[in-house]
Amino acid sequence: MDEGVRSESHLHHWLERFEVLFLILLTLATIAFLLKLPYLPTGLMAILIVLLVLVGYGYLRVRYQIAPPLVVAVLLIAAVQVDALGNYFHMYGRAFGPVMYDEFSHLAVSALTIPAIIWLLKAVIERRGYRLSLGMITLFGITCSYSAAAFYEVIELWDELYFGGKRIWSPYDAPNDLQWDLMGKLVGASVTYLVLRLRAPSVEQTAAGS
């Protein structure tokens, strides 16, 4: 057996054995990162973003033998950069075109991240041999993504209550953020659905031809 294949098989065994612990640690690391996100230096933030993306990529590659397309990783990095640039240039609380930068940020980040969630759900469902329509996968992706957005608002509350942060600016901050999150997710999910629908016939034809 090739050394690389043997090593990957060994990693797969350990990931399968300690998967729950690994996911708990990854979730806690992500929460810690999001708590400190507005206060991190730009360089360190970029390093941590790339590290989290690589860990997620490695997990999916080794555990489920699926590799996210490059565009998915690029969109995720771009989503975090929207927030990072807003903090770096002190745009939060300022107008950005016809909307506030806070609102633009929630709209853009939601639109940029939901393709990854829909792709991941589709890949895992197909990998496990289940059949689910693209429309249902997209709807499921919207609900999962929106739940994550709601949890991010909880993280902001924790920052305010327990870590001395200042991220909630008014009583309507959280619901207004979630409103723009929802719009971004609907836009991003619609585009993702159309792209996957357009790709499906060509993929099926390629598979039939081979």
Q: How confident is the model at residue 4 (pLDDT cuts 50, 70, 90)?
A: low
**What is d(CA 91, CA 19) in angstroms, rounded to the nearest whole number?**
39
Q: How confident is the model at residue 206 (pLDDT cuts 50, 70, 90)?
A: very low
Domain boundaries, the chain: 3-199
Give the pLDDT confidence score for residue 203 in this predicted structure. Answer: 46
Give the pLDDT confidence score for residue 205 in this predicted structure. Answer: 46
Residue with tokens 């400190």: 36
State pLDDT tens for residues 126-158: 988 899 999 999 999 999 999 999 999 999 999
What token pair was written down for 58? Answer: 């490695």
Proportion of the chain above pLDDT 90, given as a percent: 53
Proportion of the chain above pLDDT 70, given as a percent: 91
Strands 99-100 and 95-96, by their bridges, are: antiparallel
How far CA 175 is from CA of 103, 115, 170, in Å, comes to: 11, 23, 10
Query: Mean pLDDT over residues 79-92, rounded?
Result: 85
- Judge whether residue 121 has pLDDT over 80: yes
Angle made by CA atoms 40, 184, 164, in degrees to the nearest 5: 30
Report yes or no: 37 and 30 within 8 Å, Cβ to Cβ: no
